[in-house]
Amino acid sequence: MYNRYGRRDNKYKARIKILVKELTPEVFAQKVEEEWSHLKDGPATLIEEEVQRIEGRFTRPVYARLPPKDTFLEAMLTAEKAFANWHRRNVHPHKVPGYAAVTLSLKRTGSAPGDVSAEQMDAIASLAERYSFGELRVSHEQNLIFADVCAPDLHALWREIRPLGLSTPNIGLLTNIIACPGGDFCSLANAKSIPVAQAIQRRFDDLDYLHDIGELDLNISGCVNSCGHHHIGHIGVLGGDKKGEEFYQISIGGAQGVHASLGTVIGPAFAQDQVPDIVEKLVQVYLEEREGEEERFIDTVRRIGIEPFKDYVYGTNHQTRRRNSGHLAAA
């Protein structure tokens, strides 16, 4: 439908969301259904034989037969807290016993999210050869993944990626920020994204605090084209421009995945240097309101709504909020 009706005459309007808005979601859905009724069960239908034919073109890694638990790995997890932290956040289960998928974090404090140097890439390519069947994947969250690492190698791999700055144990946490290139590199930008991400990373650089906050997606886009997916961040930051000045609109409650939702803008926008303070205030409300450590930021927003966050950020609720540990105090 986008191919047929999309706005090819105007590059700023060449977006499917613009078309959906112009047609209305109902009319767009109706047109998709009409088209589908012609295609359904036609020659393009995917059948099992075709899946098998395509699968036959791919070779799978030659996995070793490994026990589901590795005694050396278990010992290292007990002996080294930093390794255990990294394993908890950056190592993911694998369908083959004895293997794991590993995320190399490109979100070290002070780095541009997703940025990697030529020297790092050379080193990563060589590590992929040794640890993951020569294969490397890129995630939409702007990290790199070794998809097939055997458990006995995990500790050695961790030791090798540490000096390369690729072992920050922050996958799924607040500093694993998705940020578009923004005003530093993109000619369509209204505002910068990277310095905002770096300022938030610096504010939340304490790993204990970060792990205490738990799972939280924060996404930043430098304009409404939304390449940083701000609208599906648990916290979303959207850069704008008003009379030559950059400002940032904050939304909360967005999510990707099975229970996807769009974030709601909490109110008037902020100057760039205010954004870390606002994020900190949102986190403070969450830490005070959450029902147990298992309740994630997004769950709390869904349970209590955006009003308590809004009240605190815009000062209608002057109560001082403090984390139990007293790590940060509200202004």
- The residue ranges that bind ligand SF4 (CB under 6 A) are 180-182, 186, 188-189, 221-223, 225-228
Look-up of token digits 């036609």:
42
The nearer residue to ligand SF4, 114 or 214, going by C-beta atoms, is 114
- The nearest distance, CB 109 to ligand SF4, in angstroms, is 22
The nearer residue to ligand SF4, 84 or 199, going by C-beta atoms, is 199
The nearer residue to ligand SF4, 181 or 236, going by C-beta atoms, is 181
Q: What tokens does 194 get? A: 């990277």
What's the burial of 78, exposed, middle or buried (CB within 10 Å: 0-12/13-18/19+)? exposed
The nearer residue to ligand SF4, 1 or 188, going by C-beta atoms, is 188
Element (H, E) at 100: strand 99-104
> Rounded to an integer, what distance in angstroms lies between the CA atom of residue 176 and that of residue 142?
9
The nearer residue to ligand SF4, 205 or 241, going by C-beta atoms, is 241
- The nearest distance, CB 184 to ligand SF4, in angstroms, is 9
- The nearest distance, CB 181 to ligand SF4, in angstroms, is 5
Cβ–Cβ contacts within 10 Å for residue 17, how many? 13
Name beta bridge partners: 153: none
Degrees (nearest 5) of the Cα angle 261, 271, 192? 70
Q: Pick from 114, 106, 274, 265: which is nearest to 199 by CA?
A: 274
- The nearest distance, CB 203 to ligand SF4, in angstroms, is 22
Degrees (nearest 5) of the Cα angle 214, 218, 99? 60
> Rounded to an integer, what distance in angstroms lies between the CA atom of residue 331 and that of residue 288?
15
- The nearest distance, CB 182 to ligand SF4, in angstroms, is 5
The nearer residue to ligand SF4, 66 or 188, going by C-beta atoms, is 188
- The nearest distance, CB 114 to ligand SF4, in angstroms, is 12
